[in-house]
Amino acid sequence: MTPVVLPAQTVGLLVGTDRITATSADRHAHIYPATGAPNATVALAGAPEIDHAVGVAKDAQRQWMALGVDGRRDALIDLADVVHAHLDDLAELNTRDYGVPISFAGNAILLEQFLRHFAGYVDKPHGSSTPVSGSSDVNLIEREPYGVIGVVAPWNGSLVVAASCVAPALAAGNALVFKPSELAPLAALRFGELCLEAGIPPGLVNIVPGAADGGDALVRHPGIGKIHFTGGDQTARTVLKAAADNLTPVVTELGGKSASIVFADADLDTAAALSAHQGPLMQSGQSCACASRILVHDSVYDAFAERFLAAIGASRVGDPLDPTVTFGPVISAASADRILAAVDQAVDERAGELLTGGRRLTEGALAQGYYVEPTVLGDVDNRSALTQTETFGPVVSLIRFNDDADAVRIANDTPYGLNGFMHTRDLARAHTVARQLESGSVWINQLSRISPQGPYGGYKHSGAGRTGGLEGLQEFQQVKNIRIGLG
């Protein structure tokens, strides 16, 4: 495959039809995590560029609404067609962004799926009419766009956030200023170009890579109608405080410390394979959906652990551009050091027994990349820092439980509540326990499979608001009540 982005290339902001490489902020040297070598130099947005992008977006939003429902619906379908034709490009850039194996191409496909799904909402009823107590007046409840949506995307999922935010926001009638992380801007910028190629009005989707100062300017801008932030809970606190200056509403999709519960009646081979992928292997554990706490019934703990370690051992480590590779690097050397420090602390504090991993891979072709071995600790104390703090790396904990109530208690004993996972063949148990888990989504005998039809979001410190489904569309609409007196 011919590289889409050459190491010497400078990439910039996409505002309207302009590619802006001369900005008020510093430039960022983007590094391919698999090799430690540069991919590109990235121009970053500062406050002046954010202000310009918001102004351009406001004008484009008015043009977008003037198209009417048929025009907006057809434009989103056309965009989905163009994305489909460039899935390989987007998948490669997604890999170059942060080292996710190209064999995991679901992020680009998800973008197409969300666009097609929400295109269908454009010309469907968005409001309602209700009787009014004591009156025969006409009472209308309508849903209208906010205007300009500010999106702050994390480095580990710009295409997923583009899918879950851009598609419904456009369907609801908004424009967007989309800020990908400076660590992973390449796929998002290509998506912005595809929007123009598909005939989306210039300025409707603006891509403005930026660091913290760019993000701060975006969330503080008075022209932003609503903010969607995906990232860590500590940064979310900063975003919420900044947005409070203008009372701008904020949707947050934050981190997780998800539990995967393996009951005694589970198919252990399937449970081990799914847990290995959902835990340390998928995106090298760099996912808010990572099942980093694996709760196993005491009677099958040893049998499961054997299968789980074998599933991890069968993964293929290497250059994530190789379609046979299933495990790639972490985002940076600093992340590798932070992850390994968390493992060392857990071992030093006797929080659990190190069963495998716990080292950085520094030999052969991987030496210059940021590879951390898939790491598993057994018999972990659920009150330890390892299980209460999001590690955001290929590190998982095995924890024993005695009965269903014990499993629920341990699973809920965390500040987070994004996902819950269960492995059982007992349908009654699946229903009962799922309702007791304090998480926005529960996945039974399967992986976390985000879809445009299903609302996704968290409880507790994992965020507020939803993407996907009707709930996801309504996050980008504000409600107006119109009452018409009839005498």
Active-site annotation holds for 165: no
Task: Please tell me the distance from the alpha carbon of residue 229 to that of residue 253, in angstroms, as a whole number.
Answer: 6
Give the N- to C-terminal CA distance of the chain in Å, as an integer.
71
| DSSP 8-state class, residue 415 | S
Active-site annotation holds for 290: no
Among 179, 226, 257, 460, the one annotated catalytic: 179
Q: Across the beta sheet with 353-356, what order do the strands follow?
A: 353-356, 375-378, 395-401, 293-297, 259-262, 419-423, 441-444
For residue 477, give every residue at least 6 positions away whose Cβ sits within 8 Å of its Cβ, in sequence order, or none.
126, 143, 144, 145, 146, 172, 173
- Say if CB 119 and CB 171 are below 8 A apart: yes
Exposure class string for 287-310: b at 16+ Cβ within 10 A, else e: bbbbbbbbbbbeebbeebbebbbe
H helical segments located in 198-313: 212-220, 233-244, 268-276, 301-313
Among 253, 290, 373, 460, the one annotated catalytic: 253
Active-site annotation holds for 471: no
**DSSP-based three-state secondary structure for 52:** helix
Among 165, 195, 288, 290, the one annotated catalytic: 288
Active-site annotation holds for 288: yes
Axis-axis angle for helices 106-119, 186-197 (nearest 10)? 40
**DSSP-based three-state secondary structure for 422:** strand
For the annotated catalytic residues, the residue numbers are 179, 253, 288, 390
